[in-house]
Amino acid sequence: MNTTALIVREGTSRIRWAGGGGTWRLTGIWPSAGEQLQLSAQLAAGRPLLVVLEPDPPSVPVWRSELADGLLPLGPGRPVHSVNHEVAVEESPAEEPEEELLDVVVPFLDWLPERLRARGRAFSEQARELISHTPAPLLAALIVEDEPVQDDQVRFVHRTGGRPPTAAELDRLAVCLLSRPVAA
């Protein structure tokens, strides 16, 4: 099992929910402010990072009543504020008069330093272009970023659809993509 690489599923997997017994509330988005500080320190120390870009749009419809009390929608296209994070919200017409449906958008790669965010965006655009022009039966489950010239401890992969990889599969992929040869 990989114990050194951090693996992040970019997209709606970053949304945090709390609850049980049929009652769930959106409580925020990873990373919190404290987790962001830890992540920045780990990246600065050279810890390997595998970022899995999801194929679906990074948003989820949520009833206003499903937002935790610390999250306050400010209006169409305005962010939902929490103590640690901002979440973009698009308001949709409500199906029930007393309930309001919101579209919570996960900010794309907002947790990465700008140089890595730009690299991730560029790779995502290339991967989406390839996906849009390739017949589905010919696509691999993941498109892997070419080996980077700098920040080589960070690699991006883009899911093309289908079954999401398991944690064990991502762990093996991280070992394969992020292992460095040991000097003799």
- pTM of the predicted structure, to 2 decimals: 0.81
With cut-offs at 50, 70 and 90, classify the pLDDT of residue 162.
confident
Phi, psi of 8 (to 5 degrees): -120, 125
Residues 6+ apart with CB under 8 A from 182: none
Is-contact 170 50, C-beta < 8 A? yes
Of the candidates 17, 105, 25, the one whose C-alpha atom is nearest the C-alpha of residue 69 is: 25
Task: Give the number of C-alpha atoms closer than 13 A to the C-alpha of residue 62, restricted to the C-beta side.
Answer: 29
What is the pLDDT at residue 152? 81
Count of CB atoms within 10 A of residue 172's CB? 14
Predicted confidence (pLDDT) per residue in 83-131, tens digit: 344 555 555 555 544 578 888 889 999 999 999 999 999 999 999 999 9
pLDDT in tens, 41-94: 999 999 999 999 998 888 888 888 888 876 655 444 445 544 344 555 555 555
Query: 3-class SS at 94?
Result: coil
Q: How far apart are CA 77 and CA 89, in angstroms?
A: 5
Q: Residue 151: pLDDT above 90?
A: no
Q: Give pLDDT tens digits for 25-45.
A: 898 899 989 999 999 999 999
| Mean pLDDT for the chain overall | 82
Higher-scoring residue by pLDDT: 1, 154? 154
